[in-house]
Amino acid sequence: MSDKIKAWLLASRPKTLWAAISPVLIGTAMAQADSLLHWPSAITALLAAICIQIGTNFANDYFDYLKGTDTSERIGPTRATQAGLIPPTSMRNGFIAIFGFAMLLGLYLVWRGGWIIVLIGSVSIFLGVIYTATRWALAYTGLADLFVLIFFGPVAVGGTYYVQALAIEPVVLIMGLAPGLISTAILTVNNLRDLEQDKKAGRKTLAVRFGSSFAKIEYLLAILLACLLPLALLIFADGRFYALLATCTIFMVIPAIRTVFFHSDGAVLNTVLASTGQFLLLYSVAFSIGWIL
């Protein structure tokens, strides 16, 4: 594999892609359980979600470089533009191209689902850009957590279900909160790890605004609420007891919770990021299998 390909793979941040894949998996499983599975729409939604996630990562890399946020003190994974692996103009062209491809994929989903898909896709790409772009960037104002909760949660799960079923059920949107909450937990660990660097860069994440103790509690609550959601859904969906398989996955993430509360070393928190991403995937698979059963 050439160094150039490796650099682009690094910039795409593969470990973050579970946040895009998991809600599509859940939405598709819920459509299947209702005998409304539509494979062309499911696959297209998955590809579009991955493209939007990668485009956001590229844009994040580019605009953080322009703002000088990424420095030699960075604890997290290497940023391709800041490290000189990919020129800024190439990174800019990269996120424009990947967002463009996502829009092409979206044409099919719009044809199937109508104007609501135009709205979802357009807002998702717009927020993916201003996540780090402009002086009002979501990542710099503390609004990123809300964006992640909503768009990696109910919007992604509900949108995936809708393009297959051409209808929406409240239970789908409620369950959509689960991947959104876990994705928010991933972001929280990221912000906790980068707390000191973000302070210097003027990046006012919730961890910077309210402190490390707040971030630790936010992480714990996000995980707990996600794991309690399948139990709450029993009220709305009789007979879906196997969905509680997702609740049982909490045992996998207990070591990560312990690490968040008792360790502050950046390298250690990087392992928590990875394990929480794996937890998101396992949770989504467990819920999907249980819901279909």
Q: Which of 35-49, 71-85, 214-228, 276-290 is predicted with the least confidence, judged by mean pLDDT?
A: 71-85
Q: What is the pLDDT of residues 8-64, one digit of tens each?
A: 999 999 988 999 999 999 999 999 999 999 999 999 999 999 999 999 999 999 998
Q: What is the pLDDT of residues 66-120, one digit of tens each?
A: 887 765 555 666 778 888 889 999 999 999 999 999 999 999 999 999 999 999 9
Per-residue confidence (pLDDT) for residue 115, from 0 to 100: 93
Per-residue confidence (pLDDT) for residue 74, from 0 to 100: 58
Per-residue confidence (pLDDT) for residue 133, from 0 to 100: 85
Looking at every residue in the chain, the average pLDDT score rounds to 91
DSSP three-state, residue 120: helix
Per-residue confidence (pLDDT) for residue 198, from 0 to 100: 84
89, 58 in Cβ contact below 8 A? no
Q: Any alpha helices (H) in 13-143, and if so which ranges?
A: 18-33, 39-67, 88-113, 115-130, 138-141
Per-residue confidence (pLDDT) for residue 75, from 0 to 100: 62
46, 54 in Cβ contact below 8 A? no
Which has more confidence, 240 or 29?
29
Burial of 109 (0-12, 13-18, 19+ CB in 10 A): buried
Q: Which residues of 183-195 are buried (b: 16+ CB within 10 A; e: fewer)?
A: bbbbbbbbbbbbb
Average pLDDT on 169-179 reads: 95
User: DSSP of 174-217, one letter per residue?
Assistant: HHHHHHHHHHHHHHHHHHHHTHHHHHHHT---HHHHH-HHHHHH
Average pLDDT on 203-214 reads: 92
Per-residue confidence (pLDDT) for residue 60, from 0 to 100: 92
Per-residue confidence (pLDDT) for residue 71, from 0 to 100: 58
Kindly give the interhelix angle for 170-193 and 154-165, rounded to the nearest 10 degrees.
150
Structure tokens at 216: 């630790």
Residue with tokens 């991947």: 179
Q: What is the pLDDT of residues 136-162, one digit of tens each?
A: 888 888 899 999 999 999 999 999 999
Average pLDDT on 183-209 reads: 90
Per-residue confidence (pLDDT) for residue 1, from 0 to 100: 64
pLDDT grade for 282, boundaries at 50, 70 and 90 = very high
pLDDT grade for 2, boundaries at 50, 70 and 90 = confident
Side-chain half-sphere exposure of 221, counting CA atoms within 13 A: 8
